[in-house]
């Protein structure tokens, strides 16, 4: 009977029995990961970050939106009208430092400033403002737009990193739960074996076949197995609660029920195994740093351009008739407004400091990129080496499990024949149980390593 029970334990351990036959309620790795991908709030938050970057891009584009302005001013003193003035303007910014403008002015009154006098009913003006120094090759609006475009791409890569991190943590939590369930289930079988042996020893003691101290030895072994089983139950509950942290449905957390059993088919990790090692340059972490470097280079270019003097040229063609109706006649070079402005700090201390700061930030990002490239390469190599080592350890431990099982069965036969002691039987069984637990731990570590490698290189 003891031997048959031992065979059943090894059968459960080696996965020879269908998990569906053990419990009706089960949750596989694919089902678990499906819940996480579809409903976990962190995954949704990662998408929100992507939407935020797109909103920032929209905001940067808003700096180039056309603008319409209108201003009306009148002055009356002691019920006597001085003047009335109306100005309206349309401005169209462009990315090359040029602002196109169209203006309409109306003015009338007995005490109107001669500068504001309008011949006829209206005065039309068409022209542009041009930056010839600072702002010609790089200006804050154009730089902000280019940076926002790169920030969207950066957010896409960061979104992939965040989602993969969540999925990796979730898969590890499931494997911890599965390993804890295996430990609890197998120790439970050893508890049944110890209880069966304890009853058999008591019967043999009562018949005088064994000494009373053997009954004490059997009871100690039985209680020790029960203690291990209770500890494994605590670990199982803790692992189930940790796995529950990743289960959500309709923005509500789901708690794994006590009777739910995790299942892991032999081919469950095959989709995560066949992964090629991609070039480091295509890794999202490297792409994120590339986009950050590009943004900082744009900032450095802007600060370098700030060393130039501020030179603004404005020109307006003036016409008393609508230039849209008679364009050639209206745009008379003899009627115009010309503006020219030059401005430059004498020492450029602020500008030189900003350029220095932007250069230091760029150098820092370049160094961070090199460090990240080194760390990624080492991490990939370390996971590969760890995966290969754990595979060998798993094979060795599996052989140890089978050997300890043979030793236990042989010691049990010797005990039945009166050629061994119960102490040796319990010792052989304890070593067998210890080897089984080691196998579960090594197998769990191997599975977690495979998943870590998959989520590190696959996006």
Distance CA 67, CA 92 (A): 7
What the block records as the tokens of 340 is: 């020219």
First vs last C-alpha separation in the chain: 52
Q: At what angle do helices 284-305 and 140-206 cross, to 10 degrees?
A: 160
Provide the residue ranges of all domains of the chain, joining segments of one domain with +: 2-59+142-293+361-457, 66-137+309-347
Instruction: Tell me what pLDDT residue 417 has.
Output: 84
**pTM here?**
0.79
Instruction: Tell me what pLDDT residue 18 has.
Output: 31
- Residue matched to tokens 């291990």: 228
- CB atoms near residue 299 (< 10 Å): 21
Query: Which are the contacts of 333, defined by CB distance < 8 A and separation ≥ 6?
Result: 317
Q: Angle at the Cα of 206 (from 203 to 210), degrees rounded to 5?
A: 85
Distance CA 150, CA 294 (A): 8
Instruction: Tell me what pLDDT residue 7 has.
Output: 34
User: Class assignment of domain 2-59+142-293+361-457?
Assistant: mainly alpha
Distance CA 85, CA 117 (A): 10
Instruction: Tell me what pLDDT residue 19 has.
Output: 32
Residue 257 class from Cβ within 10 Å (0-12 exposed, 13-18 middle, 19+ buried)? Answer: exposed
Distance CA 6, CA 427 (A): 15
- Identify the segments of the chain with pLDDT beneath 70: 1-24, 119-120, 323-333
299's enclosing H/E stretch is helix 284-305
Which H, E and C letters describe 205-232, residue by residue? Answer: HHCCCCCHHHHHHHHHHHHHHHHHHHHH
Distance CA 308, CA 298 (A): 16
What the block records as the tokens of 91 is: 């401005």
Is there a contact between 125 and 103 (Cβ–Cβ < 8 Å)?
A: yes
Q: Angle at the Cα of 326 (from 322 to 327), degrees rounded to 5?
A: 95
Establish how many alpha carbons lie within 13 A of residue 30's alpha carbon, considering only the half-sphere containing its beta carbon: 8
Establish how many alpha carbons lie within 13 A of residue 287's alpha carbon, considering only the half-sphere containing its beta carbon: 17
- Residue matched to tokens 């590339």: 290
Is there a contact between 56 and 148 (Cβ–Cβ < 8 Å)?
A: yes
* Per-residue exposure over 187-225, b if at least 16 CB sit within 10 Å of its own CB, e if not: bbbbbebbeebbeebbebbeeeebeeebbebbeebbeeb
Dihedral, CA atoms, 333, 337, 338, 339, nearest 10 degrees? -170
Distance CA 17, CA 11 (A): 7
Closest to 190 measured CA to CA, from 2, 410, 395, 378: 2
Is there a contact between 351 and 307 (Cβ–Cβ < 8 Å)?
A: yes
Residues in the chain, overall count: 459
What the block records as the tokens of 416 is: 């039945």
Instruction: Tell me what pLDDT residue 334 has.
Output: 75
Distance CA 317, CA 296 (A): 40
Is there a contact between 307 and 350 (Cβ–Cβ < 8 Å)?
A: no
Report CA-CA distances (Å) from 453 to 217, 318, 385, 410, 450: 47, 70, 11, 42, 5
Instruction: Tell me what pLDDT residue 325 has.
Output: 64
């Amino acid at each position: 009977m003891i031997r048959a029970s031992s065979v059943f334990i090894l059968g459960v351990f080696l996965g020879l029995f269908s998990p569906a036959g053990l419990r009706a309620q089960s949750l596989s790795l694919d089902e678990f990961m499906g819940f996480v991908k579809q409903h976990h709030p962190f995954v949704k938050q990662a998408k929100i970050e992507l939407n935020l970057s797109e909103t920032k891009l929209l905001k940067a584009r808003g700096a180039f939106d056309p603008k319409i302005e209108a201003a009306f001013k009148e002055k009356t003193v002691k019920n006597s009208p001085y003047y009335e003035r109306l100005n309206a303007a349309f401005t169209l910014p462009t990315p090359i430092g040029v602002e196109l403008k169209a203006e309409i002015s109306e003015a009338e009154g007995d005490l109107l400033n001669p500068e504001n006098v309008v011949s006829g009913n209206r005065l039309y003006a068409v022209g542009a403002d041009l930056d010839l120094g600072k702002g010609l090759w790089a200006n804050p609006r154009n730089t902000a737009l280019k940076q926002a475009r790169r920030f969207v791409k950066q957010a896409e890569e960061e979104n992939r990193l965040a989602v993969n991190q969540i999925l990796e943590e979730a898969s590890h939590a499931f494997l911890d739960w599965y390993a804890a369930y295996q430990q609890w289930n197998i120790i439970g079988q050893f508890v049944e074996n110890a209880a069966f042996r304890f009853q058999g020893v008591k019967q043999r003691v009562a018949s005088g076949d064994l000494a009373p101290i053997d009954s004490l030895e059997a009871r100690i072994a039985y209680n020790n197995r029960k203690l291990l089983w209770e500890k494994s139950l605590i670990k199982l509950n803790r692992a189930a609660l940790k796995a529950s942290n990743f289960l959500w449905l309709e923005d509500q957390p789901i708690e794994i029920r006590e009777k739910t059993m995790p299942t892991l088919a032999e081919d469950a990790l095959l989709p995560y195994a066949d992964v090629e090692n991609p070039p480091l340059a295509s890794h999202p972490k490297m792409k994120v740093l590339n986009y950050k470097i590009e943004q900082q280079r744009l900032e450095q270019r802007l600060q370098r351009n700030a060393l130039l003097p501020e030179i603004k040229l404005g020109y307006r063609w003036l016409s008393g008739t609508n230039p849209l109706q008679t364009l050639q006649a209206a745009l008379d070079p003899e009627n115009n407004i010309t503006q020219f402005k030059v401005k430059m700090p004498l020492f450029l201390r602020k500008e030189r400091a900003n350029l220095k700061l932007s250069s230091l930030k760029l150098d820092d990002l370049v160094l961070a990129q090199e460090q990240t490239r080194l760390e990624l390469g080492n991490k990939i190599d370390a996971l590969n080496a760890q995966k290969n080592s754990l595979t060998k350890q798993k094979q060795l431990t599996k052989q140890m499990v089978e050997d300890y099982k043979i030793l236990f069965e042989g010691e049990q036969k010797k005990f039945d024949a009166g050629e061994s002691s119960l102490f040796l039987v319990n010792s052989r069984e304890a070593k067998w149980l210890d080897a089984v637990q080691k196998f579960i731990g090594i197998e769990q570590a191997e599975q977690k390593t495979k998943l870590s490698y998959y989520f590190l290189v696959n996006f």
